Amino acid sequence: MAGSGTAVRLRDVRRQFGDVRAVDGVGLEIEDGEFFSMLGPSGSGKTTCLRLVAGFDQPSSGGVELFGRPMAGVPPWERDVNTVFQDYALFPHMSVAENVAYGLRVKGVARAERQARVGAALDMVRLPGVAERRPSQLSGGQRQRVALARALVNRPRVLLLDEPLGALDLKLRQEMQAELKALQQRLGITFLYVTHDQEEALAMSDRLAVLSHGRVDQVGTPAEVYERPATAFVAGFVGASNLIEGELARALTGASAGFTIRPEKIGLLPPAAAAPPASCVAEGRVASATYHGAFTRYVVEVDGALLVVVEQNRDAPQGELAAWRGQPVRLAWPRALNQPLSGP
């Protein structure tokens, strides 16, 4: 699966629109054959980075390289990448087959080969039998697949995807996530995937970069980013996190340095039980308990701070949740899971 060398390299890339620094010094190296995600809230600069790689926009400073070749001054139509657009950008005046064939046609691929490759591409995205339809006659999910086939039929070395699943409903989105991931592993081409959905990024990526305000906060595997968030922003944006600072931090760890701890790492101790060794133990009162089906979410007040605790519902819930309110509880979690804050 993994190829060799760097597919995409961003060298201290900046892009300024007037006074707005959309991309403010991004450096990234994306390996050949990798599924790489750029994760961030809207306005974090992730789509701008993608557009710089595609060539729709030029960096104000810094440079983009594809397979070691600098892309300064290289227009989009001469770059060996293809894009799946957020709004799909299918040509409304062409049939599905004409849409998929477009890239081959403008490159002068002969008709017979064109037809064979278009058919294969539509099969690959599991869309047989719609070749003669217009994009307007397709559902959102089908259009998504056409957009994918239209890009992949050109056999790009890097596929750029700009929130491709953003417009689909939850069920379809989860299906497509699995399908995209399987497709990427089968084809072995580099996917550069832009999303604001942290679950999607965690579930699909080999590695991901978390962006905020035009900068990269952290790059790593999903587990690294989730378990060892480098900044408070990453801890809060990728999954939920309890931020513990000041007096409470001193009381729990003996040091005043702040740290974060994931809600699902914290356990509710039974009244008489002793905490395991090397644990942080806190006493508080339940402010609220909410049933979420697979898990129950508790908000516990500890010394004026509110901590979120998530417990898996392995058994059917016992009694009324409302009875938890105001109950004194003891919280415990392994000290080693405390994640010290390094960044802002």
Partner 1 sequence: MTARVAGFFYRRPRLGLLALLSLPLAWLGLVYLGSVAALLLQSFFRLDDFTGLVVRRLSLDTWRSLLQPANLDIARRTLVMAALVTLADALLALPVAYYMARYASGRIRALLAVAILLPLWSSYLVRVYAWKLILAREGVLNWTLERLGLEGLLQVVLGLPGIGGPSLSVSPLGTFIAFVYVWLPYMVLPIQAALERVPRSLLEASSDLGAPPRVTFVRVVLPLALPGVVAGSIFTFSLTLGDFIVPGTLGNSSFFIGQAVLAHQGTAGNLPLAAAFTAIPMAIMGVYLIVARRLGAFDAL
Among 9, 15, 114, 150, which residue interacts with partner 1 (rule: CB under 8 A)?
Answer: 150
Cβ proximity to partner 1, 99 vs 339, nearer residue: 99
Task: Assess 18 for contact with partner 1 (CB under 8 A).
Answer: no
Task: Please say which residue, 73 or 92, places its beta carbon nearer to partner 1.
Answer: 92
- Per DSSP, what are the bridge partners of residue 297? 290, 310
Q: What is the largest CA-CA distance in the chain?
A: 78
Nearer to partner 1, 83 or 198 (CB): 83
Q: Decide if residue 258 touches partner 1 (CB under 8 A).
A: no
**What single-letter DSSP state applies at residue 307?**
E
Residue 337 in the binding site for partner 1 (CB under 8 A): no
End-to-end CA distance of the chain: 37
Does residue number 186 form part of the binding site for partner 1 (CB under 8 A)?
Answer: no
Q: Does 113 bind partner 1 (CB under 8 A)?
A: no
Separation CA 334–CA 267 (nearest Å): 10
Residues 6+ apart with CB under 8 A from 172: 140, 141, 165
Residue from 37, 83, 142, 212 in contact with partner 1 (CB under 8 A):
83
> In the complex with partner 1, which residue's Cβ is closer, 114 or 262?
114
On whether the CB atoms of residues 86 and 162 are closer than 8 A, the answer is: yes
| Complex with partner 1: residue 77 or 314, whichever CB lies closer | 77
| Half-sphere exposure at residue 342, Cβ-oriented, CA atoms within 13 angstroms | 7
Contact 260, 239 (CB under 8 A): no
**Residue 92 binds to partner 1 (criterion: CB under 8 A):** yes
| Residue from 40, 59, 103, 214 binding partner 1 (CB under 8 A) | 103
Q: Quick one: which segment of 72-80, 224-232, 260-268, 270-278 binds partner 1 (CB under 8 A)? A: 72-80
- Tell me if 87 contacts partner 1 by CB under 8 A: yes
Within 10 Å of residue 309's Cβ, how many Cβ atoms?
24
Contact indicator for 13, 25 with CB cutoff of 8 Å: yes
Token pair, residue 120, equals 């294969």
56 binds partner 1 (CB under 8 A): yes
Is 77 or 326 the residue whose CB approaches partner 1 more closely?
77
Please give the size of the binding site for partner 1, defined by CB under 8 A: 24
Q: How far apart are CA 306 and CA 308, in angstroms?
A: 7
The token pair at 179 is 């399908």
Rounded to whole angstroms, how far apart are CA atoms 119 and 137? Answer: 19
For 288, other C-beta atoms within 10 Å of its C-beta total: 15
* Closer residue to partner 1 in complex, CB, 82/218: 82
Nearest CB to partner 1, comparing residues 102 and 295: 102
Cβ neighbors of 11 (< 8 A, separation 6 or more) are 27, 62, 63, 64, 65
55-68 exposure pattern, b = at least 16 Cβ within 10 A, e = fewer: bebebeebebbbee
**CA–CA separation, 204 and 193 (whole Å):** 9
Least distance to partner 1, CB of residue 121, Å: 13
Is 154 a residue that touches partner 1 (CB under 8 A)? yes
Please identify, using beta-carbon distances, which residue of 92 and 304 lies nearer to partner 1: 92
Q: Which of 106, 178, 182, 336 binds partner 1 (CB under 8 A)?
A: 106
User: Applying CB under 8 A, which of residues 3, 11, 16, 102 lies at the interface with partner 1?
Assistant: 102
Are 282 and 252 in contact, with CB atoms under 8 Å apart? Answer: yes
- Kindly list the residues in this chain that would bind partner 1 in the complex (CB under 8 A): 54-56, 75-77, 81-83, 85-87, 89-93, 102-103, 106-107, 150-151, 154
